[in-house]
Amino acid sequence: MEGGSPDQGSVGSGTKRSSASSGSRPRNRKEFLYRFVDSSMLTAKLEDWFESISNKSEPKKPAFDVPFELIELQKFDYALEGISFQQVVRMPNAVYASTSDAVEATAYLAIEDFLHAGVKGLWEAFWSQDEPMPFSVACLYDENLKFYQAEKAVADGKLGGLCATGILLTNPRHPHGKWDQILELALLRPDIRNFAMDSDRQLPLSVLGEALFYALRVLLSRSLSRLNYSQSSNSVFILLVDSQYGGVVKVEGDVNKLVFDVNNVYECAAEWIIKHSRIAVSSVDRIWNKLGNANWGDIGTLQVLFATFHCIMQFAGFPKHSVEDLAADHGPRLQARRAERQLGDARVNGNGLFRFQQRSVSPEIVEVQDDSVKIETEQLMKLEVGSVLWLEDSNWQKGYQINQVLNNSEHPYYIASPVEDPQKRLFLYVGSHPSQLEPAWEDMNLWYQVQRQTKILTIMKQKGLSSKYLPQLSASGRIIHPGQCQRPSSGGNCDHPWCGTPILVTSPVGETVSQLISEARFGMEEAVRCCHDCLSALSTAASAGIRHGDIRPENVVCVRSAVRQPYFVLIGWGRAILEDRDRPAMNLHFSSTYALQEGKLCSASDAESLVYMLYISCGGVLPDLDSVEGALQWRETSWSRRLIQQKLGDASTILKAFADYVDSLCGTPYPMDYDIWLRRLRRNINEDDHGKEIDTSG
């Protein structure tokens, strides 16, 4: 297979790219890339910086963030259930201990095969089983940075010069691949295993510097390419592997901020890495077992596959089947397996709160019929009206009686009253048991609803955010179970199934907008007031850098009292965005266009979701959507034909004007002007109330 020059093919054509300015800048960038060929020189320029950040990092705390949170990997793990990955060529067990050419050749073949199996399995599972996979795998030759298949490189005597293996976008115009077509690179580094054995050690600069070198080359090549990339193409994933272990390095940054001084290539590159890049490094975990087969279900392989998943999205867009869609099948699959094994014997304990099951264990091997096998499930919590829960915080204990059981289409929550104040009504959320590590996808939703929302509301409270349109944290803690708690002194929970289960209690209580719409009790006045109140909540949260990320009818409640006008409170802050690595909820009907395309929020994303909610409340009809592509097509058609504005205009001119404003802002970096729209909406509320006094705080 003939190699393709990284600088004369893919890069040379990039000077016609519309986003590059005319004149010397594209030529300088091309010349810069042409001279940027030595990873060791870049590494030398980074020595002082690397020593500085290593010294500043706390003991046993990495100097860099991780590319993926554990909760993301758990969700991805559920999504991969039932997906078959195959690896034909086995990885030799001790490439780092052998100089045999045969062993090294087999290692590169195994890496090629592993990457091909991974990208093929992900493509067929998330994007399309019918369309051919548009990717291929090839190796990089160090001397000329050209691409070869491993077999071709071995046959041509280039084995010793191979430096990396990459997943490439297949392009009919460049069948041999180019640098701007690289999705992901894997570097074979025999010393990676040492850092799996000692998790407190940092990757050495010799390894990290080389990963940064290749990452920057890929970013520069993309910036000079004619190919269309998503806005997330400013990030690159580099894999570091040996014969058993592997890790992920993510490099993200805007290369337009790089100074293209062709006479100081490595100084400029080092300055960009130090000042303008974000680097994330995963833990080093096992990928291949001692037989050379990939551990597809282990966390090391999972990190690599998740990185590959993100790389595919950069080139192919959002998948037809989202991670959330496939992960949601985990619960039904679990129930089906339980049904097949005839799980049963559900007996209710004395207070009616929890269902227990017993297991009979025989010390002898006995032949039994399948229908006589009784296998237990986990103890499941079942709260009913009249049940009393006791909550333990750090300094006190408090009881709550369940008055009403509700459901927001995902999981139950409750209206409860403090035992000492039966007239007071509060929302009460019960999480999943922490020791079970999210045994079902539903429990991950509970984690967001309870543990993460507790974190968000606590942050709001600490930052002094005050608005009647935001939920208030009343209490949070753990369930107190009956009997003696045998919690170990070192921490953790005892064996009791209730021990450690988290609880969140918030106020105020109200009816959800979804309930009001279903009962035809949400009219024009309610729509205008709801728009104002939700915008006020978003404005207050935005002042502290918090965005909601999951606006839908189930997450807005109408609060009524005898002394004031009804008002709306924006609840459900568990998917809130605090920093760039946080990801919003994916909802085909209510997520913003930018969230569906990029998996992130722009400044107007929450407002766009609010518009969709108001659209259905004013009689708009949401189509049946089963894919992200269909959801994006519906949005494009509805906005371009002004169907959303027209429907809102039938109810209120101010809502139509607001929709026009949101439409003009979507996908742009410009911030929302909350103040002007709150004033306009407030005037309309006053006019609609014909002079009645209302509370316009916030």
Q: Tens digits of per-residue pLDDT, 632-683?
A: 999 999 999 999 999 999 989 999 999 999 999 887 888 899 999 999 999 9
What average pLDDT does the segment 71-85 reach? Answer: 86
Q: Is a pLDDT exceeding 60 seen at residue 343?
A: no
Give dist(CA 402, CA 412) in Å, integer: 12
Res 88: pLDDT: 76
pLDDT tens-digit profile of 137-165?
Answer: 988 877 777 777 778 777 777 777 788 89
pLDDT of res. 314: 87
Distance, CA of 494 to CA of 485 (rounded, Å): 6
pLDDT-derived band at 367, boundaries 50, 70, 90:
very low
* CA 298 – CA 301 distance, rounded (Å): 6
Average pLDDT over residues 43-59: 86
Report the amino acid identity of residue 10: S
Task: Flag whether pLDDT at 415 surpasses 80.
Answer: yes
For 632-668, b/e burial (b = at least 16 CB within 10 A) is bebbeebbeeeebbebbbebbebbbebbebbbebbbe
The pLDDT-based confidence of 414 (bands split at 50, 70, 90) is very high
* The model's pTM: 0.55
Beta-strand (E) ranges in 347-501? 347-348, 354-356, 380-381, 388-392, 397-407, 412-418, 426-430, 472-479
Given a cut of 90, whether residue 351 has pLDDT beyond it is no
Residues in CB range of 482: below 8 A, 6 or more apart: 351
Catalogue all structural domains in the chain, each as residue range(s) with its CATH number: 61-254+277-326 (no CATH), 382-483+493-509 (3.30.200.20), 512-689 (1.10.510.10)
Amino acid letter at 334?
Answer: L
Q: What is the pLDDT of residue 409?
A: 67
pLDDT confidence of 627, banded at 50, 70, 90? confident
Q: Is the pLDDT of residue 173 over 80?
A: no
Q: How far apart are CA 414 and CA 383, in angstroms?
A: 9
Chain mean pLDDT for the chain: 80
pLDDT digits (tens, 9 = 90+) for 373-401: 333 333 445 678 888 888 887 667 888 99
Helix (H, G, I), strand (E, B) or coil at 577: strand
Q: Which residue would you say has higher pLDDT here, 100 or 58?
A: 58
